[in-house]
Copies of this chain bind each other. A is one copy, B any other.
Amino acid sequence: MPEGISVSEIAGRLGGEVEGDGDVLITGLSALREAGPGDLSFVVSAKFAADAAATQATAVLVSPEWDKPCSAIMIRVKNPDEAFTSITPAFAPPPVERKPGIHPSAVLAPDVECGPDVHIGPHCVVDSGARIGARSVLMAGCYVGQGVELGEEVMLYPHVSVREYSRIGNRVLIHDGTVVGSDGFGYVVDDKGVRTKVPQVGIVEIGNDVEIGANVTIDRARFGKTRIGNGVKIDNLVQIAHNVVLGDHAVVVAQVGISGSTEVGPHAILAGQAGIAGHLKIGAGAVVLAQSGVWKDVESKTQVFGYPALPQRQAMSLQRAYMKLPRLQQKIAALEQRLKEIEDTHGA
């Protein structure tokens, strides 16, 4: 982390324009509301005008059109959000370096194949027949099972478990404690209600450029593959059951659960805590809103929510009607009263 970077220097790196004192040093980054002296912040739209006016940030990235009160020093840039992201690394603490090499406490089967410049951290265990691609990193305490294939530049954070025969592509990041390839949940029930395990002999296959959060669980297929497509992003504590297919670039937010054999189309988004029943198809580009319960197929490019999940327009109309239920009850009572008066007066 640097001692500080001048406002002018930051503006230069971002191709922005300084308004105010460019010599002032920036020492940290912060959101508008939490910012203090020395901090650089950013504002994305007029919606945050109150925060901008009240911010304690020393300098703020604003758009060329910004015309509201803000900090004494501003840097005008085309896209303040992206610009802020691009300057972030300059203020980050030193990255964690993982030098090539195998820690002496790691336990590797004799036939494990490692590509060049692999890092295998302390207390890792890699079982027989596993292959680890070039420049991949296994941090402390990871487990890589028999016959697993890891691509190049894979990053396994501490305590990740990749079970036997799973295949993982290139540039895949998996955060701490995640389990890839545990058995699917499948049983045969006898007439006394006693369950016998159905063998789960398939695998998990993960494409390239995937990121998977912490403490996620992805079950191996009953047979064949549970498949995570290229570019998929999975948040923390997500459950992916056996034989699920996630299309390329799908997004699965925290605590979502996807039941067995469901296919999620490319670019679909499943928001937080949503639950998807088994054997369904979620179309390409579909969006399932947070906490929804999906019991039927979802068409491509549609947005659904609720329990059961319905197309957004219908769901919202139902929700609005629900909010007016007490009013509806009153209306009906009033109608009954008025009708009774007519009946009493005129006879039925």
**Chain B neighbourhood of A173, CB < 8 A:** 183, 197
Q: How far is the CA of A161 from the CA of B176 in the complex (A)?
A: 7
Instruction: Given A141-B141, A249-B195, check contact A213 B224 (CB 8 Å).
Output: no
Q: A243 contacts B182, CB within 8 Å?
A: no
Beta-carbon nearest neighbor of A291 in chain B = B293
Q: Which of B93, B164, B195, B215 contacts A177 (CB 8 A)?
A: B215
Q: Which of A175, A177, A338, A346 has the most CB of B within 10 A?
A: A177
- What string of 1s and 0s marks CB contacts (under 8 Å) between A120-140 and chain B? 011101010000000000011
Q: How far is the CA of A183 from the CA of B300 in the complex (A)?
A: 30
Q: A223 contacts B88, CB within 8 Å?
A: yes
CB of A326 within 8 A of chain B?
yes
Q: B125 contacts A179, CB within 8 Å?
A: no
Instruction: Given A85-B199, A254-B185, check contact A157 B163 (CB 8 Å).
Output: yes
CB of A201 within 8 A of chain B?
yes
**Chain B neighbourhood of A291, CB < 8 A:** 275, 293, 307
Q: How far is the CA of A240 from the CA of B303 in the complex (A)?
A: 25
Beta-carbon nearest neighbor of A219 in chain B = B236
**Chain B neighbourhood of A267, CB < 8 A:** 193
**Chain B neighbourhood of A157, CB < 8 A:** 161, 163, 182
Q: Which of B29, B122, B307 contacts A307 (CB 8 A)?
A: B307
Mark out the residues of chain A between 234 and 274 whose CB falls within 8 Å of any chain B CB in the assembled complex.
Answer: 235-237, 239, 241, 243, 249, 251, 253-255, 257, 259, 261, 266-267, 272-273
Q: A140 contacts B125, CB within 8 Å?
A: yes
- What string of 1s and 0s marks CB contacts (under 8 Å) between A206-241 and chain B? 000001011111010011100000010101110101
Inter-chain pairs besides A140-B143, A179-B236, A273-B275, 14 sampled, C-beta below 8 Å: A31-B223, A93-B203, A125-B158, A157-B163, A159-B177, A173-B197, A193-B249, A193-B266, A193-B267, A217-B236, A275-B291, A318-B325, A339-B339, A346-B346
List 7 A-B residue pairs with CB atoms under 8 Å apart, sorted by A's residue number. A34-B224, A143-B176, A159-B161, A185-B236, A195-B231, A214-B217, A257-B272
A residues at B contact (CB < 8 Å): 28-31, 34, 82, 85, 88-89, 91-93, 96, 103, 105, 107, 121-123, 125, 127, 139-141, 143, 145-147, 157-159, 161, 163-165, 173, 175-177, 179, 182-183, 185, 187-188, 193-195, 197-199, 201, 203, 211, 213-217, 219, 222-224, 231, 233, 235-237, 239, 241, 243, 249, 251, 253-255, 257, 259, 261, 266-267, 272-273, 275, 277, 285, 290-291, 293, 307-308, 317-319, 321-326, 328-329, 331-332, 335-336, 338-339, 341-343, 345-348
